[in-house]
Structure 1
Amino acid sequence: MSKTRKIIGFVGLILAMFMGALDATIVNIALPDIMKDLKTGLTDTSWVATIYVLAMAAFIITASKLADIWGRKKVMLIGVILFGGFSFACMTANSLNLLIIYRFFQGIGGAILTPIVLPMGIELFGKENTSKITALMGAFSALAAAGGPAIGGFIINYESYHWIFGINVPIAIVAFLMILIGTNESYDETISKAIDWLGVIFLTTFMGSLCFGLLEGREYGWSSNIIVGCFIGSLISLILFILVEAKVKSPVVNLSLFKEKTFSSSCIIYMVFGFAIIGPSLILNYFLQNVKSYSALHSAYLIIPASLAIAVGMPLATKMYKTVSSKMLIGIGLVITAGGLAMLGMIKTNTTQEIIVCCNIIIGLGLGFTAIALTSSVKFLPVEKTGIGSGVVNAARYVGQAIGMALLVTVLNNNVVNAKDSIRDAAYTQIQEKNLSPEVKKVAREQIKIVFKNSKNDNKISSKQKQMKNKIKKAAKKTIDLPLPKAGTAYRRLYSANNKLNTGTKKLAVLPLPQLKQGVQLLSKGHQKIGTAIKLLAQKQQLVSALDKIRFKKNSELANAFAKVFNLTSLLTIIWLPLCWLTDRKEDEVEYC
């Protein structure tokens, strides 16, 4: 096959993989529009995003195995058809149930597209170019995953959300033709053509139950029967899967693969990669949208530099891979990633956008180096085992992402709950201590309760705060039961002086002059109005002071809530640093058998 045809085929493979990775995140920004169009709630609509990730995680290893048996080109083309066809179906879906069903099958297509690119790329260009192939895969996968919200936002700004799915159709057609023309069929010639269906069932049940429990634990409750059942079911399925795989002649996953330490350790590192990427892609996004009140598109623009940095960092690490061992590159990646996350751990509500972008670039470069684990995972595997090896390592990444979403969002939610409690108590104290009218205090307490109420599905504060200020300001304009200005203040002295003038003016009314009496009455009314105005100004000063202190407390507590999560992510990333030592070895050390 000519070099031109090989390049055409590989571009088609990258396009197919790009589609699969893109659809894991592009839908998130469209959920509000889907809710409005299909008249559904947030909890039900979120399944449009969740079901896709579940399907990918559950079937990705099985897809790799079937491709090794039936032919990778054949299965890849089926995957492209499946993905493109159900993308069109999602585009035309007129009910939420149909959309979720179509997304499930689209996810199965995505599970086929992702892991088969590596073995097909090696078949085209040889195992000696594995690092270059994985560098391109990692770069475009990162661009798709982190760029999804921005691309989705751009589409929604100019067209309806339906085109978020529709954009895949022409890409799928082009990818199909390029793969058809530019690739050859390949198999794992060392395995039996028999399919271990029992192993497939146990593996799919394990991955599906585990990821469902992790992704939906916060929604249903971690101690709920369905989530506990999922985790128990996943554990039982894993045990049964291992028992079956140890006995059958043609296992779905040859357990001897894990005897290769570079493969096992690289899978864990790639799982850490999936875990760490949740920091900038999800937790930071929550901070920007729910605390800073940025739009989804604005937030995406600040997060995209992380994916661009991955796209730069991985090819850079690949070039260095020729002379530097993977354990050194992955170690550098973990340190840089953890450092960038620790920098985000110092985030404040007044942190500039430039600093946030810089942090994301640092994290992205670190993740780019860490992603060399994708290369090191298959370096010492036989060529025919790169297919199933790619499936396992990619599945590890999705498990890492699911763990990250489950753990970090749960910790964040608890932190925000504690922060809201602290803010609410401090706000009540401020309102009680300030010299305000009973009406203002009543309205303020009501609004504080609403703004800082703990809700599982709504943690937006900044948008509610504007409504709170407007209602309190409206109450503060009322002149009923205004308190005296606080003793010792300039307003109190001014109020006292105005009262003395009013008293002195009234004394003139005792003089037997009708015209003077009329003038005195007008002056007295004027003094009363001035007194009321002074009270209003004094109350405004007290109210502004209280709101400023509440705002300062809110900013401090919420920033601290997010900072703790970033620091936790940094810690749980860096603790795997010793494992880097096992991701590489000398060529003459034989481990896989």
Structure 2
Amino acid sequence: MTKGRKIIGFIGLILAMFMGALDATIVNIALPDIMEDLHTGLTDTSWVATIYVLAMAVFIITVSKLADIYGRKLVMLMGVLIFGIFSFACMMADSLSMLIAFRLFQGIGGAILTPIVFPMGIELFGKQNTSRITATMGAFSALAAAGGPVIGGLIIHWTTYHWIFGINVPIAILAFLMILFGTKESYDQTISKNIDWLGMIFLTCTLGGLTFGLLEGREYGWTSQIIISSFIISVVGLFFLILVERKVKSPIIELSLFKEKTFTSSSIIYMVFGLAIIVPSLILNYFLQNVQGYSALHSAYLIIPASLAIMIGMPLATKMYQKISARLLISIGLIITSAGLSMLSLIKYNTSQGIIICCNIIIGLGLGFMAMALTSSVKYLPVNKTGIGSGIVNASRYIGQAVGMALLVTILNSNVNTAKVQIKETAYTQIDERVLSTQVKKVAKKEISKTFKTTKNSTNISTKQNNMIKQIKKAAQKTDNLPIPKKGSSYRKIYDANELLINGTESISSNVSQLAGVPQLAGVPQLAGVSQLAGSLKVISDGQTELGTAIKLLAQKDELTSAFKVIIKEKNKQLSQAFDNVFIIGGGIVFICTPLALLTEKRKLSKL
């Protein structure tokens, strides 16, 4: 095969892998739009993202083995076909249940695209180019993961979220043709042809039970039967998974590979990489769209520095890898990433966009260095185990993403609901203390309760806030039963003065009316205009009454404006704090895994 055909084939493989990795995060930017379009909440809508990475985590190792047995090129082409078909199905879905179901099958297709690229790349260019192949894969994989929100934001800006899925169709067709033309078939001749179906079932139970329990725990109640059962299924599944994998001849996860310390530590670190990337691509995105009220495109512009930093960090780390050990590079990446994530906790509602961009640059640079875990993971594995090894380490990343989504979204939901309670209490206090009509107070409390209701629609507040203000202002325009302005205010002084004028005018009008009733006396022509004067005084009195109503309306408007300022300020403060410990937890998880980097490239001399 000519070098040109090999390059075309490898580009096709990278396109396929990029497409599969991209869809693990590109949907994150669209979740608020999906929530609004399909009238769902955060927890339910999160399954659109979670089910995809969960399917990849579960099936990625199985398809690696199927590819080794039945042919990597054949399985890869099937994966591209499945991914393209169900991407189109996701594009056409008109309900959340259909979208989640189609995303499951799209995830199965994505599970095929990722792990087979590495062994097929080695088949094309040889073992001696392993570092270059893994560096290229790592760079594009990391770029796809961090660039998903950016690309998604651009698509939503120009079209609708449906094209986030539809854009995959032409890419899938192009990748299919390039792989068909530019690659050759390869197998693992040493692998057993038996498929570990029991292992796959127990792996599904382990990950599915854990993810469902974490994501739905707050909704159903942590002590509810369904959540406790979910965690029990996860633990029992893990127990039987280890038991089965130690006994079967052809395990889905070859536990013997974990005797190699570099492989084990790299797999865990790559799992942390998957969890860490959820923070800027999902959690920060929610903050930007649903707290600060930015559009999807604007949010994408603020997240794109993370993608650009990964593009710089990964090649830089690869270059440094020639002179510096992987353990040092990965340690640097873990520390930088944890620092960047922790810095996000300092962001408030009024924090400048420049600081947010700086945080994302730091995070992206750290993630670029962390991605070296992919390069070091298979360094000491036998050539015929690179396929299954690649599958396991890539599965680790998607396990990290699935668990990260479930864990961090659950914490975020809990925090936001706590914040809503505080906001509601502040809002009620403000409404009670203000001089407002009974109707306005009633409408205000009703709308506040509706806006800050503690449900699983935890972050969908911005659009509700605008509707709340609209309804309260509408009620405040009515002139029935308006309260007298607050004592000591300028409006009260004007109102009291106007009341004196009204009383004086009415007194004069009354006397004039009595005078107008006296029979006209001869020789007193001045009394002929008394009736006209009484009419004029009546007009003046009515005008002063309307002025009094206007003063009351203006006073009530100022009271509402002042109350809104306090309520909105409290809302921004409480919601900003709700995100703080989510960022800190993400950074903390990354940091505590730093000692694992010391085990990379520390080869254990045992027979695999």
Shared fold per TM-score greater than 0.5: yes
Distance 1:232 1:527, change over 3 A: same
* 2:585 match: 568
Paired AA for residue 528 in structure 1: T
Distance 1:90 1:455, change over 3 A: closer
Q: Are 1:558 and 2:585 an aligned pair?
A: no
Contact preservation (8 Å) 2:25, 2:281: no
Measure how far apart 1:550 and its partner are. 0.9
* 2:24 match: 24
Paired AA for residue 605 in structure 2: V
CA offsets 1:343-380 (integer angstroms, 9 cap, x no match)? 22122222333332332222111111111111121122
* 1:590 match: 605
* 1:274 match: 274
Measure how far apart 1:528 and its partner are. 2.9
SS at match of 2:66: helix
| Equivalent in 542, 546, 551 of residue 563 of structure 2 | 546
Report the structure number with the largest CA radius of gyration: 2
Contact preservation (8 Å) 2:150, 2:303: no
* 1:130 match: 130
- 2 CA distance for matches of 1:167 and 1:454? 36
Measure how far apart 1:272 and its partner are. 1.0
Q: Are 1:61 and 2:61 an aligned pair?
A: yes
- 1 CA distance for matches of 2:547 and 2:91? 66
Measure how far apart 1:16 and its partner are. 1.2
* 2:265 match: 265
Q: Give runs of aligned pairs for residues 147-166 of structure 1, distance below 5 A.
A: 147-152=147-152, 154-155=154-155, 164-166=164-166
SS at match of 2:114: helix
Structure 1 window deviating more from structure 2 (387-396 vs 231-240): it is 231-240
* 2:398 match: 398
SS at match of 2:453: coil
Distance 1:347 1:106, change over 3 A: same
- 2 CA distance for matches of 1:222 and 1:152? 34
Measure how far apart 1:190 and its partner are. 4.2
Measure how far apart 1:111 and its partner are. 0.9
Contact preservation (8 Å) 1:278, 1:401: yes
Contact preservation (8 Å) 2:417, 2:458: no
* 1:247 match: 247
- Tell me the TM-score normalised to structure 1 length: 0.89
- 2 CA distance for matches of 1:145 and 1:129? 24
SS at match of 1:348: coil
- Tell me the TM-score normalised to structure 2 length: 0.87
CA offsets 1:115-142 (integer angstroms, 9 cap, x no match)? 1112222333344433332222222223
Contact preservation (8 Å) 2:153, 2:299: no
Contact preservation (8 Å) 1:257, 1:263: yes
Paired AA for residue 288 in structure 2: L
* 1:74 match: 74
* 1:315 match: 315
Measure how far apart 1:60 and its partner are. 0.7
SS at match of 2:347: coil
Contact preservation (8 Å) 1:55, 1:208: no
Q: Give runs of aligned pairs for residues 47-196 of structure 1, distance below 5 A.
A: 49-87=49-87, 102-152=102-152, 154-155=154-155, 164-196=164-196
Paired AA for residue 334 in structure 1: L
Measure how far apart 1:237 and its partner are. 2.5
Q: Are 1:337 and 2:337 an aligned pair?
A: yes
Paired AA for residue 532 in structure 1: T
Contact preservation (8 Å) 1:335, 1:574: yes
- 1 CA distance for matches of 2:429 and 2:342? 33
Measure how far apart 1:219 and its partner are. 5.7
SS at match of 1:346: coil
Distance 1:518 1:194, change over 3 A: closer
Contact preservation (8 Å) 2:340, 2:360: yes
Measure how far apart 1:156 and its partner are. 5.7
Paired AA for residue 300 in structure 1: A
* 1:466 match: 466
Measure how far apart 1:517 and its partner are. 4.4
Distance 1:4 1:564, change over 3 A: same
Distance 1:103 1:534, change over 3 A: closer
Structure 1 window deviating more from structure 2 (4-13 vs 293-302): it is 293-302
* 2:522 match: none
- 1 CA distance for matches of 2:263 and 2:564? 56
SS at match of 1:112: helix
Give the gaps of 5 or more residues in structure 2. 516-526
- 2 CA distance for matches of 1:488 and 1:99? 59
* 2:521 match: none
Structure 1 window deviating more from structure 2 (499-508 vs 92-101): it is 92-101
Root-mean-square deviation over aligned CA pairs? 3.1
Contact preservation (8 Å) 1:34, 1:45: yes
